[in-house]
A and B are shown apart, each in its own frame.
Chain A
Amino acid sequence: MTEAPSRRPAPLPTERATPLDPPTGLAPLREHQPVSPLAHPDGTAGWLVTSNALVREVLADPRFSSRSELIHSPMRTDPPTPAPRGVFIGMDAPEHPRYRKLLTGQFTVRRIRQLTDRIEQIVEQALDATEAAGQPADLIQTFALPVPSLLICELLGVPYESHEDFERWTNVMSSAGSALADAQAAEAALTAFLAGIVADKRARPTDDVLSGVIHEGSLDDEEALGIALMLLVAGHETTSGMLGLGTLALLTHPGQLALLREDPALIDGAVEELLRYVTIAQFDVGVRAALEDVELGGRLIRAGDSVSVSFIAANRDPDVFDDPDTLDITRPPGRHVAFGHGAHACLGQQLARMELRIAFPALLRRFPGLRLAVPLAEIPIRSEMPVYGAYRLPVAW
């Protein structure tokens, strides 16, 4: 039991006791008022939804819109603006499914399985690089970031040589801590970079997802650019966050780590549990705006109100998961929302699963003595980023 929170609009809870604990303010909200008034930094008020059932309800209900121009951020002050053309994460039907269906065929279970060998190679190369870096190695720089980053580059047809640039631009443009001018400059740089690639592929098609989208015929270059931007950003920092913090979760739960080492067949369930336990989508991803008055969990959401859902609160909801704050790689996957829910559920989720299912066991095989090289409290975390993770993860073996 926790103490009942105030009923006045309050800022989004972000303070965590440790890198792997949810923000401490979320549990009391979920228990006492799972639809609670939220104060946005731009001065407007909205709602924060923290129970698993209500989070799923919001994400499945088309009366809650994803249109960027309607949505107030729980962490940023920049004004709501329409999604750039092609950036369908910020759109509703009919635009959203029209764009999305151009891509879903590229991310099917079958297509992702065909990537198995290549993912294994990329993982082994990253492990070689980790070994070569010597101890302590920063596992984010040698492993957690390069694996998804190189893979999404190859899939999209973006030259990996530019990875340091687009990784930096992505960080600056998405950080809630960036000055608006810096974020805009980073977005402009990333956009210009991708515009060049789109123009190249329009002229000279290659065998990759971007060329496929461009030459499918229904999109102009600006729309293809929007799609490229979205996939490149979504494809590298998310899986990177999961690889880093998933490893951290295993290293700080030696019993679970030993279980997985003894029985690698547990990996599929372990990945689902790590997705649930870590939950890298922190804020800004799951925000909707009510298109009409909607009653939600006994509260009246007015048309126009922004509604933020907390994926981590939903994934630690004791109504859905027994002993939810315990990492248990043998638990049934249940109704976790680590990839979201509803029409906007993560497009690349089977790719992410495959990367994680290959990468964690390979990491554990390569380094039987893998351990943290610094105390847990010294690991710098991405608390101001929409996509959670560790900035650095120093390890030894």
Chain B
Amino acid sequence: MTRLRVETDPVLCAGSGMCALLAPEVFDQDEKEGTVVLIDDRPAEERRAAVLAAAERCPAGAIRVAGAD
């Protein structure tokens, strides 16, 4: 299993907060606009499930994850 590589797109981001709710160690929200702030683009293995859930449940498709297989 390769380590996840995460990318986010603050322009696509709708500020739903799902990522910050599900994986707060990896994603935060901009104080002013509420858009995604990526804290950790190579999250540790124990965050895998939370990061994948955040990507799946992002309503705006603003999270891309490589190395998920």
Which residues from chain A sit less than 8 Å from chain B, CB to CB? 59-60, 100-101, 103-110, 112, 333, 335, 339-347, 349-350, 353
Contact B16 A101 (CB under 8 A): no
| B33 CB contacts on chain A under 8 angstroms | 101, 104-105
| B43 CB contacts on chain A under 8 angstroms | none
Q: Is B46 an interface residue (CB 8 A)?
A: no
CB distance from A107 to the nearest CB of B (A): 6
Interface centre among A59, A110, A339, A340 (most CB of B within 10 A): A110
CB distance from A41 to the nearest CB of B (A): 30
Contact B29 A100 (CB under 8 A): no
Q: Looking across the interface, which residue of chain B has its beta carbon closest to that of A272? A: B57
CB distance from B12 to the nearest CB of A (A): 8
Instruction: Give 10 A-B contacts (CB < 8 Å), ordered by A residue.
Output: A100-B15, A104-B29, A104-B35, A105-B30, A105-B33, A110-B29, A333-B57, A339-B59, A344-B14, A345-B60
Which residues from chain B sit less than 8 Å from chain A, CB to CB? 12, 14-17, 20-21, 24, 29-35, 53, 56-57, 59-61
CB distance from A227 to the nearest CB of B (A): 15
Contact B15 A109 (CB under 8 A): no
Complex Cα spacing A333 to B50, Å: 12
Complex Cα spacing A109 to B20, Å: 7
| A343 CB contacts on chain B under 8 angstroms | 12, 14, 60
Contact B29 A345 (CB under 8 A): no
Contact A101 B20 (CB under 8 A): no
Contact A100 B17 (CB under 8 A): no
Contact A107 B14 (CB under 8 A): no
CB distance from B35 to the nearest CB of A (A): 7
CB distance from A58 to the nearest CB of B (A): 13
| A353 CB contacts on chain B under 8 angstroms | 21
Chain B interface main SS type: loop
Contact A340 B59 (CB under 8 A): yes
**When A and B form their complex, which 9 residue pairs have the shortest distance between CB atoms, in order from nearest?**
A104-B34, A104-B15, A345-B59, A108-B29, A109-B20, A109-B17, A350-B17, A105-B34, A105-B32
Complex Cα spacing A106 to B15, Å: 10
Complex Cα spacing A165 to B39, Å: 45
Q: Looking across the interface, which residue of chain A has its beta carbon closest to that of B21? A: A109
Contact B15 A347 (CB under 8 A): yes
Complex Cα spacing A118 to B12, Å: 32
Q: Looking across the interface, which residue of chain B has its beta carbon closest to that of A341? A: B59
Q: Looking across the interface, which residue of chain A has its beta carbon closest to that of B20? A: A109
Which of A100, A108, A112, A335 sits near B14, CB closer than 8 Å?
A100
Instruction: Name 18 extra pairs, CB < 8 A, besides A342-B59, A346-B16.
Output: A59-B59, A101-B33, A101-B34, A104-B34, A104-B35, A105-B29, A106-B34, A107-B17, A108-B17, A108-B20, A110-B29, A335-B57, A339-B16, A339-B59, A342-B14, A343-B12, A343-B60, A350-B17
Contact B34 A345 (CB under 8 A): no
CB distance from A136 to the nearest CB of B (A): 37
CB distance from A15 to the nearest CB of B (A): 30
| A346 CB contacts on chain B under 8 angstroms | 16
Complex Cα spacing A345 to B57, Å: 11
Contact A101 B61 (CB under 8 A): no
Complex Cα spacing A342 to B35, Å: 14
CB distance from A18 to the nearest CB of B (A): 29
Q: Looking across the interface, which residue of chain A has its beta carbon closest to that of B13? A: A104
CB distance from B45 to the nearest CB of A (A): 20
Contact B16 A349 (CB under 8 A): yes
Q: Looking across the interface, which residue of chain B has its beta carbon closest to that of A350? A: B17
| B21 CB contacts on chain A under 8 angstroms | 109, 350, 353
Complex Cα spacing A335 to B20, Å: 17
Contact A60 B61 (CB under 8 A): yes
